[in-house]
Amino acid sequence: MPLRRRGPNSIRPASAGSIPRNRPVSQGSSSSSPSLVWFGALLLYRLANAYSVSTYLVPDETWQSLEVAHRVVFGTGYLTWEWHHQLRSYAYPFYVSTLYRLVRWVLPVDDPFQLGSTQSDSPNATAAFLAVDGTAWAVYLPPIVLGATTAAIIDWYTYKFSWRYLGPLVADWTLVASLLSYPMGTLMVRPLGNAAETAAVAVALYHWPLYVAVRAETAANFPWRAYVRSLAWAALGCILRPTGALVWSCAAVPLLWRWLVYQGPRRFFTELLPGLLAATVTIGAAALGAMMLIDYAFYGTWVFTPYNFFRFNVQRNLSTWFGVEPWFWYLAAGLPALLTAHLPWFALGVYHVGSTSPTSSQRAQLRTWLWITAAVVAGYSLLEHKEARFLTCLLPIWLTLSGAGLSAFFSPQTTAATTKSAFDTIRSALHYPFGSRRQLLLAALTIGSLGAIGYTNLVHQRGVVDVVNYLSGDVRRQSTQPRAHHILFLMPCHSTPYYSHLHYDVTLSYLACDPPLEPEQIKAGDHYQYPSGEFGRDPAAFLMDYLARLQPASPTEPAASTNHTASAAGDLFALPRDTALHFSPPPSHIVIFAVDLPALAPIFTLNGYLED
């Protein structure tokens, strides 16, 4: 709560409980490409899905994407410690910033440094026709478009991947699994780098030439076009998240082994391998070059962010600052957290793919993808810091296996004449949920999944977003009056969105939680002190000490903060670091969680703050 300072398709299994023996579509078949009308429908669905997002799940959805891009385009935004130590590439914020620039070009947006004025003094015909608030749309539209497009691409290429390996019948159920997937409906529709990486991986998986039948005659039979397309998308995913290289390192092993076995060592090493290396090096170098150019444009110096990322997270192992989990955590918690209600269908799909005799080379290669995912999870498990969203790049494969499990369980028909499509089956289950136990289970799965997605997007942790939106409106309404000049978020670090939602040039500050990066901080070990931790140990003592160190100031006096926005000149990187939170005038507004109010209320009253 804020406080202000007082003052002025179908399924046909051979038998119930088995995967339908429908033939995967062969390469080059005219029916191998599902209609693009489906993609349009998926995009509309995901637009509605992304539009419903009114909550806050993980800090990276704003602090490592929208916040950085907003700073680049509008001049207001805060860069966290990762950017000062050049651990992250600007490739993803660069993409996000193009959406901000487009909105800024189409609609009149308030200048963050001049309240009440827009970027253009002349009336904007588009804004007048649409009767929209350009500034509000500049804040809300880019995340919606970005999240919806990313999720729709994942849906579409997961569907095509399943179609290619298991055929159109199972692909329908895979699409159902994707549309009802909890992480797809809650995480992938947010502006996260993990979502963009997953989209790139989904496209690359579809093109990766494991599905192509090997011919031993000559290296010219190698599917070069598919390989180059897949490699290009894989390189894009690795730019967004360097750890994605593990996926493609694992995927390369069975691909190379198949061609080595069928062609023989002599032909493989003399004819095929040189071409593979040339294509890989060329595409990899082009991707790295583009990344370094983007980073040079923003950092102002040549920097190789993947190395810095590796050095921090692996070599120095400082990622453990954000939590340490046991080696089996991904199996025990990460995988269930991502699959949620799909977990039993995933297990059923894994059972059939792993235990039944394959009826096609494509189905056999899906078993290879299963082993690849196991290797990737094992690789990620070696790192001590673990988060479930680190595995979202494997969702296309896992959703395909979930679709296989769903089709095996919910399609008891054995003849083509009586087979119903996946969507017809769901429609019947929703209309007559008590027709059978399976219909009841399918109806519960559908309603429960959509309900969980809706609750997470509309209710869960909504207050931290609403309070920033409220403050943004409050600042704008007071454009001709004494207004908020310094807002302090007195809560654990990164608990709320920041300038990407507030937009305006108001001093914001929060309780830092930077990891120990300097030698003296590392030497302190467990005794290392940081503001967010000190507040968590004793909120009242921290607040009293903080306010006692401040100098009195008039309500309209601008605050001298080191956690401030960029200057009007747009110097994006001259950002002083703050560790002690020494602000000269007191904050005009303080935002806290309601649970802390009883302990802090007497201090607020004593210092002249009222609840807003």
Q: What are 518-567's pLDDT values in tens digits?
A: 666 666 566 667 788 888 888 898 888 888 877 554 444 433 333 333 33
Residue 566 falls within a domain, yes or no?
Answer: yes
Rounded Cα distance between 266 and 268, Å, is 5
Does residue 125 have a pLDDT over 70? Answer: no
Rounded mean pLDDT of the chain? 80
Which residues span the domain enclosing 545?
471-611
**Tokens standing for 362?**
């494509």
Q: What is the pLDDT of residues 494-513, one digit of tens each?
A: 999 999 998 888 888 888 88
- Model pLDDT, residue 361: 60
Whether 384 maps to a domain, the answer reads yes
Are 402 and 279 within one domain?
yes
Question: From CA 133, how far away is CA 577, in angstroms rounded?
Answer: 35
The token pair at 347 is 């297990």
Answer yes or no: is pLDDT of 288 > 90.
yes
Asked if residue 324 lies in contact with residue 317, where contact means CB atoms within 8 angstroms, the answer is no
Q: What span, in angstroms and rounded, lies between the C-alpha atoms of 191 and 151?
A: 10
> Residue written as tokens 């005009």?
588
Dihedral-angle region of residue 560 (phi above 0 means left; psi in -120 to 50 means alpha; beta otherwise): beta
Task: Say if 440 falls within a structural domain.
Answer: no
- pLDDT tens per residue across span 38-72: 899 999 999 999 999 999 999 999 999 999 999 99
In a shared domain, residues 382 and 515: no
Percent of the chain with pLDDT over 90: 42
User: What is the pLDDT averaged over residues 185-214?
Assistant: 92
Confirm whether 18 is domain-assigned: no
> Do 603 and 516 fall into the same domain?
yes
Task: Give the pLDDT band of residue 578 (cuts 50, 70, 90).
Answer: very low
In this structure, are residues 117 and 450 in contact, taking their beta carbons and an 8 Å threshold? no
pLDDT digits (tens, 9 = 90+) for 1-40: 666 555 443 333 334 445 554 555 544 443 445 678 889 9
What pTM did the predictor assign? 0.85
Same domain, 188 and 269: yes
Q: Is 390 among the domain residues?
A: yes
CA 225 to chain CA centroid, nearest Å: 29
Q: How many Cβ atoms are within 10 Å of 343's Cβ, its own excluded?
A: 16
Which pLDDT band holds residue 176 (cuts at 50, 70, 90)?
very high
Q: Rounded to an integer, what distance in angstroms lies between the CA atom of residue 89 and that of residue 316? A: 19
Residue 258 token pair: 């198949």
Residues in the chain: 612
* Mean pLDDT lowest among 2-6, 126-130, 248-252: 126-130
Share of the chain above pLDDT 70, in %: 75
Is residue 411 domain-shared with residue 479, that is, in the same domain?
A: no
The pLDDT assigned to 298 comes to 92
Domain-located, residue 445: no
Cβ atoms 1, 388 nearer than 8 A: no
- Tokens matching residue 142: 């880019």
How confident is the model at residue 365, as a pLDDT? Answer: 80
On whether both 173 and 309 belong to a single domain, the answer is yes
Q: Strand 609-611 relative to strand 2-5: parallel, antiparallel, unpaired?
A: antiparallel
* Neighbour order of strands in the sheet with 486-489: 507-510, 486-489, 589-591, 2-5, 609-611
| pLDDT at residue 7, rounded to an integer | 47
Give the orientation angle of helix 91-106 with respect to helix 273-299, to 10 degrees: 60
**Of 28-37, 202-211, 353-362, 423-432, highest mean pLDDT:** 202-211
> Mapping DSSP to helix (H, G, I), strand (E, B) and coil, where does residue 606 land?
helix
pLDDT range class, residue 330, cuts 50, 70, 90: very high
Backbone torsions φ then ψ of 23, nearest 5 degrees: -80, 125
Residues 390 and 488 in one domain: no
Q: Is the pLDDT of residue 295 over 80?
A: yes
Looking at residues 59-87, what average pLDDT do you find? Answer: 91
DSSP run (H or E) holding 524: helix 519-524
Q: Which two tokens stand for residue 44?
A: 């509309």
| Residue 487 or residue 358, greater confidence | 487
More confident residue, 218 or 262: 262
Task: Identify the CA nearest to 212 among candidates 174, 254, 175.
Answer: 254
Provide the pLDDT confidence category of residue 425 given band limits of 50, 70 and 90.
low
Residues 584-601 pLDDT 10s = 568 888 999 999 999 999
My answer on whether 396 and 482 are in the same domain is no
495/372 same-domain check: no
- Answer for the pair 474, 484: CB distance below 8 angstroms, yes or no: yes
Give the separation between CA 181 and CA 395, rounded to whole angstroms.
10
User: At 362, is the secondary structure helix, strand, or coil?
Assistant: helix
Are residues 184 and 67 part of one domain? yes
Pairing of strands 507-510, 589-591: unpaired
Q: For residue 2, what is the enclosing H or E element?
A: strand 2-5
359/73 Cα distance (integer angstroms): 54
Residue 5 lies in a domain: no
Answer yes or no: is 133 within a domain: no
Query: Quick check: 426 pLDDT over 80?
Result: no
Please say if the pLDDT value at position 580 is more than 80: no
Look at residue 239 and tell me whether its pLDDT is greater than 60: yes
Number of domains the chain contains: 2
Q: For residues 270 and 370, state if they share a domain.
A: yes
475 and 415 inside one domain? no
